[in-house]
Amino acid sequence: MKKNVLKKNVLKKNIARLLSIMLLTSVLLSSFSVLAANDLKLQMFFAPGILNSQTGELNVDVTLKNYRTVIPDSLGKICSVTFTFDYSLSGFSVKKDENGSPLILLDDKTLIRSKSNVSVKETIPGRISVTFLDETLSDGLIEGDGVLCRFTLVSKSPLAFWNSVDFYPIRFVPGSLAVIMFDNEDGVNRFHDVEGIDNSIGAYNYYPTLVAPSVGKTVSFTVGEASVTVNGEKTGTDAAPFVLGETLMVPVRFLAENLNMEVFWDGETQSVAAFSQYKSLSLSVPTGSVYVNSAYYYFSPGPTQVGDRVYVPVGIMNRLYPDSTVTVAENVVTIVIP
């Protein structure tokens, strides 16, 4: 009995240490194994319900999918999950409990069942950080798909929102998703293949399909030429693709915008974010990090800034849209996205 108690205490310390590394050091997070482009991953996604037109309240499920398919029995069960997400401050506030923390909703059907196993904080306005940890390593372990937990967002203008066609983003913070497995024989291990899928929320929401809409475009760049050709129509730009080492680098804004993505540049952090339905791309020039659907991918060379433009290796398309095809002939790269 004493040996088992001692073993579990050691494992708890290992979990705490692993959590600290994952939560405090994004560089270390990025050093874990590279995700394969076409491998099915453990997914976390948002499934919002219907807005209450009287109170303005909107319950949002944080849901886990692909557990049975992706996680082998040899890894055991989930003992810890961490994630951070942003919600739109322009449209919502978050409902809070008596202690002033974001209210987390649990019941006998959610995968997280005990509030004692979860820590929830609004680290900055509009950003919520969640850490689940079953310290017993037995009673609250997660095994299977389902709703992890729920939050309640409150519309700042319920009547206007209900009668509008506006949708507001709710997004995972890149690099914030982490899952730790526990097995009685092997102890604790981090599970790598996890992606977070963003969503948009409105007064009336359909259950997410997680299938990104088709793009249906052919995009071409020519090395040294400041232009982009989309479905045969050529448009001038202010950024010419170039070859770095043996890698073809293309301007990320002109690539992403022609994939129907909304692009944001943060000059303070020198980072780029691009979003479309169920697709997200996040790049950091100083760290070289690339996140697709909040999952880390390694590229060498990574994102590179030249003048006022950020360039990425064209191979990023195989991660962003696995069904796309990329061909290079006579200094022209052609990207076909179904």
pLDDT digits (tens, 9 = 90+) for 211-265: 999 999 999 999 999 999 999 999 999 999 999 999 999 999 999 999 999 999 9
* pLDDT at site 19: 62
Q: Over the stretch 99-127, which tens digit does the pLDDT of each residue have?
A: 999 999 999 999 999 999 999 999 999 99
Residues carrying CATH 3.30.457.10, the chain: 217-337
* pLDDT at site 39: 73
Q: What is the 3-state secondary structure (H, E, C) of the chain?
A: CHHHHHHHHHHHHHHHHHHHHHHHCHHHHHCCCCCCCCCCCEEEEEEECCCCCCCCEEEEEEEEECHHHHCCHHHCEEEEEEEEEEECCCCEEECECCCCCECEECCCCCCCCCHHHEEEEEEECCEEEEEEECCCCCCCCECCCEEEEEEEEEECCHHHHHCCCCCEEEEECCCCCEEEEEECCCEEEEECCEEEECEEECCCCCCCCCCCCCCCEEEEEECCCCEEEECCEEEECCCCCEEECCEEEEEHHHHHHCCCCEEEEECCCCEEEEEECCEEEEEECCCCCEEECCEEECCCCCCEEECCEEEEEHHHHHHHCCCCEEEEECCEEEEEEC
Residues carrying CATH 2.60.40.680, the chain: 2-201
CATH says 217-337 is which class? alpha beta
User: Percent of the chain beyond pLDDT 90?
Assistant: 86
Pairing label, strands 279-284, 290-292: antiparallel
- CATH dotted code for 2-201: 2.60.40.680
Q: Over the stretch 22-59, which tens digit does the pLDDT of each residue have?
A: 544 333 343 333 334 447 899 999 999 999 999 999 99
Residue 286 has pLDDT above 80, yes or no: yes
pTM attached to this predicted model: 0.90
Reading the block at residue 216, the tokens are: 């249906």
Residue 18 has pLDDT above 80, yes or no: no
Over residues 269-297, mean pLDDT: 97
